[in-house]
Structure 1
Amino acid sequence: MPKPPPDYFRYFPDHPDIARWGIGVAACGLARATPGAAYPPQQHPADHHFDWSHGRVLDAVQIVLITSGRGAFESRELGRRDIETGTAVLLLPGMWHRYRPDDKTGWSESWVELRGPVVDTLRTSGVLAVDSAIRNGALAAGLDSAMDTLHQHARRAGPGFDPEMSACALNILAAWARAGETAPARARMVRAVLQAERYFADHHTEAVNVEALARELGVAYSHFRREFKTQTGFSPWNYVVHLRLSRARRLLAAGDATLDDIAARLGFSSAFHLSTAFKQAYGIAPQHWREQLQKTARPAGKRPETDV
C-alpha cells in the first residue's frame, strides 16, 4: 500500500457506534514541519492547538510518531526528553505536554487520537501508561505501517462511523505495545515474524524456504525460528502446514473434491501426506472428518436420497 503524502488532518464527531465497537478514531493526521518553520500549524481546532510557551492538555488518548527529523518533548511526569526518527509518544487525557521539532532538522509526524471502552480498559490495566509514554522502537514494531493504513482509510472515509478505521486503531495499539520491547534487535525480530506471517498467508500453497525467507528479512534463521514459535506457538514450517490444513478443512466441507485434488491445490506432495498431516493435527482422517460433517449437517430424521 503506497504511503499517503504528508500534511492532512481530520477530526471525526463522537458516534454511538464507538461504544458498540469498543474503539474509534477521533482524529488523525500527517504533517511535515520544515526546518525553522512555525510549529504547530495554525489550522487545528482551538482545543488541540498549542504553542511551546503554554503547552496543552487533551481529553483523549493520542499517539504521535516521528517518522523523520528530531526535536523535544516535555511533560510534568516525564520532564524534557529528546525525540527523533522512530520515536512514538503517548499523550494521555489530563497530561500537560508540549513538543516541537528541532529548528535545524524539522520533522515529519504521524498521529492518531483514539476513544472508546477499549482505550479506557488499556489505560486502567496499565498498557497505556505515562511511565512508558515514550517508545523508541516504533518503526521496527511496524507502527508506521499501521498508521499509514489508517491514513489511507481516513482520507476517503465518510463523516459517520467507519468500522475499518476501528480495526486500524486496534492494529496501531498492537504496534504500540510491540514498540515497548526494550531491545531494538528484539523489536526487529518481532517485525520479521509479522512479515513472515503475512508472507505465509499469501504463499502457503507454494514451496517455502524458511531459511531463505529469514535471510530476506535480515534476521538470523535460528533466532527467527525460536521467536516465531514464541509468538505463534508453531515453528515456521508447522505454521505453513497449519494454514494448509485449515484450508483443507474448508475445501472438504465445501464440496466433493478428492484428496488428490486438495493435496495438489495446497502444496502437499500427495494425498497420503495430506491425510497423514490431517490425522496428526485433528486425530481423524480427512475422509472420515468429511463424512462426520455431512452426517451432522443432514436434517434429523431425513434419510439420504438414493437413486431409484
Structure 2
Amino acid sequence: MKNKRNQNVNYLTVNETDELWGLYTTTIGFQVISPNSDYPPKSHPSAYWFSPNTGRVLQEYILLYITEGEGSFESASCKLTKVVAGTILLLFPGEWHTYRPLKGKGWNEYWVGFNGSYMKQLTDNLFFSRKSPVYNVGFNEQIVALFNQGIETANYQKMAYQQVLSGITSLLLGFIFYAEKNNSFRDKAIIAQIDKARMMMREKTGDDVTPESIAKTLNIGYSWFRRVFKQYTGFSPAQYQLEIKLQKSKELLASTILPVKEIAFHLNFESASYFVTFFKSKTGLSPGEYRDKIKGK
C-alpha cells in the first residue's frame, strides 16, 4: 500500500473462501496523473504495467473511473474512444485494451480490479458487454464515496474485508448499470408519460383498464408506448399490470379474510381459476397455501 495525498494503491491477496463468495477484489486505489508525467507511473507493479502504445491483456475485470482530465481508450471490441471526466471504463479479462491520459492534461483515476462467478453470471446474461465498455456517468458523489470506502477497507484489511469489498464492487456495478439505463431516457416528457401510465395502473388495479386504453388516454400510439414502456421498466404494460395485481393479491391474502374468489373478482381477473393458476405459477403456492404460510399455519 502506498498512501500519499495523490496516491493510495492496494494490491490484495485472495484465498479460497474469498473465491467461494463469488466476487473478490484484486486491487483498488486512486491516483492523480499530473500533466506531462509518465503513464503508467514507474511505481506500477510489473503484473499490471503496460505500454499505452502496445496495450495489455489482464486476467481480471477492472473498473476505471476518471473524475478529472481526459484521454483515450481502445480495446479489441471497442474502437478508439475519447475519455472525459465522468467516464467509467470496464476492462474485461482476456481482452486486449489500452488507455492513457492526454499528455498535457493528465487525469485523476479510481479503480477496482475484481473477478468471480458472480461477474461471469452478469456478463453471460448480457448486463455488461465487451462491445460497450465505456459508461458516461458524469461526476457522481455516491460512486466516489464507494471507491473511497473500498480504499479505506483495503488499507486496514481486517478479517473478512474481501466480503465488504465484494459488496462495494457489486454496488458500483449496480450504479453503472442504473446510470446507463437512465441515460438512454433523457427526455423528461417520455419519462413523465411512463410514470403517469404506471400511476394509472396502480390506482386502477381492479378496474377494467387495458394498456391500449392507457395509451389512448395519454394520446400516444400503443406500439410506441409498449416498446418504450418495456425499455424503461423491463416489463410490457400487460406484464406490469399483472405484477401489480400479484403484489396486491399478496397484500389482501395476508391482511384480510376475503375469500380467494372475491380477491380474484376484486382485482378483475377473468376467473377465480385463472387467478389461482397465475398466482401459483408466480409463487409456487396456491393463494390458500400462501395465506396459511404467511399466517404461520
TM-score (norm 1): 0.58
1:1-308 map, 5 Å: 6-137=6-137, 139-140=139-140, 142-158=142-158, 161-181=161-181, 183=183, 186=186, 223=192, 226=195, 282-283=254-255
* Superposition deviation, residue 119 in structure 1: 1.2
CA distance in 2, matches of 1:71, 1:111: 16
Q: Specify whether residues 119 and 138 from structure 1 end up closer, same or farther in structure 2 by C-alpha distance, changes over 3 A only.
A: farther
CA distance in 2, matches of 1:60, 1:112: 10
Q: Specify whether residues 296 and 78 from structure 1 end up closer, same or farther in structure 2 by C-alpha distance, changes over 3 A only.
A: closer
Q: Specify whether residues 12 and 159 from structure 1 end up closer, same or farther in structure 2 by C-alpha distance, changes over 3 A only.
A: farther
* Alignment correspondent of 2:287: none
Q: Specify whether residues 284 and 179 from structure 1 end up closer, same or farther in structure 2 by C-alpha distance, changes over 3 A only.
A: same
SS at match of 1:150: helix
Q: What is the count of residue pairs matched by the alignment?
A: 209
Q: Specify whether residues 167 and 52 from structure 1 end up closer, same or farther in structure 2 by C-alpha distance, changes over 3 A only.
A: same
Q: Specify whether residues 184 and 139 from structure 1 end up closer, same or farther in structure 2 by C-alpha distance, changes over 3 A only.
A: farther
* Alignment correspondent of 1:215: none
Q: Partner letter of residue 155 of structure 2?
A: R
SS at match of 2:149: helix
Segments of 4+ moved more than 6 angstroms: none
Q: Is 1:18–1:161's contact at 8 Å kept on the other side of the alignment?
A: no
Q: Partner letter of residue 12 of structure 1?
A: L
CA distance in 1, matches of 2:75, 2:163: 33
CA distance in 1, matches of 2:126, 2:184: 22
* Superposition deviation, residue 111 in structure 1: 0.4
CA distance in 2, matches of 1:138, 1:23: 26
Can you list the C-alpha shifts for 1:51-85, whole angstroms capped at 9, x where unaligned? 12221110001110101111111122212111011
Q: Is 2:28–2:112's contact at 8 Å kept on the other side of the alignment?
A: yes
Task: Percent identity, please.
Answer: 24
Q: Specify whether residues 184 and 143 from structure 1 end up closer, same or farther in structure 2 by C-alpha distance, changes over 3 A only.
A: farther
SS at match of 1:57: coil
* Superposition deviation, residue 5 in structure 1: 5.2
The answer for unaligned runs of 5 or more in structure 2 is 204-250, 258-294
The answer for unaligned runs of 5 or more in structure 1 is 190-218, 236-278, 286-294, 298-308
* Superposition deviation, residue 47 in structure 1: 1.8
Q: Superposition RMSD on alpha carbons, in Å?
A: 3.6
Q: Is 2:78–2:132's contact at 8 Å kept on the other side of the alignment?
A: no
CA distance in 2, matches of 1:234, 1:155: 48
TM-score (norm 2): 0.60
Q: Specify whether residues 296 and 119 from structure 1 end up closer, same or farther in structure 2 by C-alpha distance, changes over 3 A only.
A: closer
